[in-house]
């Protein structure tokens, strides 16, 4: 019995202190703050569109930015919750991006209908998608690095949401940076690629977040 007690005491003394995981809401706020700082820095480096302030006087542009910001915020919260095996017992909030994405699609649909006659298309096409993806890589890598330290059991959904969060950062930057008023172009080259980016995130989620 003495030997067993000594073994228990030794194991208790050798046990490493486990750092308490942050609350998902705090983790989400940390990601949002970091992304806003990153977005501001990118705009300072690459500049903003010359007509940015007049665009904010247009209701559909304001609605678009608000809906896209909703995707940005909801995916941040969802990714934080999905980092935990039990979703921190807040499953309803974890699937908030679905509602945000539906609202975003509706806003873009109405904006497209309101663009009559259609604004002429710009001369460039895929360059916008390329710029958004390149700017999204750093936030995506940061998200995956942080989420890898947790124990997600929903790695497909977590990976996809993390990539959608990163893509929304790049999409916001592109709308503030590129001087373009064609809604058709914005839908085709800014937002439709978001679907493919989310699918890639699912695949990477299985590769990186599975434990």
> Which residues constitute the domain of residue 32?
25-208
As a whole number, the mean pLDDT across the chain is: 88
Residue 13 lies in a domain: no
One-letter-per-residue 3-state SS of 23-60: CHHHHHHHHHHHHHHHHHHHHHHHCCCCCHHHHCCCHH
Residue 1 lies in a domain: no
Decide if pLDDT at 53 tops 90: yes
Residue 147 lies in a domain: yes
Residue 8 lies in a domain: no
User: Model confidence over 18-32: pLDDT tens digits?
Assistant: 556 678 889 999 999
What is the reported pLDDT for 12?
Answer: 54
Residue 7 lies in a domain: no
How much is the pTM?
0.87
């Amino acid at each position: 019995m003495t030997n067993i007690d000594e073994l228990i005491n030794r194991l208790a003394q050798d046990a490493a202190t486990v750092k308490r995981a942050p609350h998902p809401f705090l983790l989400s706020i940390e990601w949002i703050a970091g992304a806003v700082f990153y977005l501001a820095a990118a705009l300072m480096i690459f500049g903003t569109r010359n007509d940015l302030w007049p665009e904010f006087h247009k209701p559909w542009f304001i609605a678009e930015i608000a809906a896209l910001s909703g995707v940005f915020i909801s995916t941040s919260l969802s990714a934080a919750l999905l980092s935990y095996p039990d979703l921190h017992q807040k499953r309803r909030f974890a699937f908030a991006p679905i509602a945000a994405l539906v609202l975003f699609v509706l806003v873009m649909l109405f904006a497209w209908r309101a663009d009559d006659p259609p604004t002429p298309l710009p001369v460039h096409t895929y360059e916008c998608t390329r710029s958004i993806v390149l700017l999204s890589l750093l936030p995506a890598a940061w998200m995956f690095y942080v989420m890898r330290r947790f124990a997600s059991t929903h790695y497909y959904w977590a990976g996809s949401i993390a990539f959608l969060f990163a893509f929304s950062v790049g999409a916001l930057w592109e709308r503030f940076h590129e001087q373009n008023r064609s809604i058709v172009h914005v839908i085709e080259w800014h937002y439709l690629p978001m679907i493919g980016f989310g699918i890639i995130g699912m695949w990477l989620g299985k590769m990186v977040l599975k434990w």
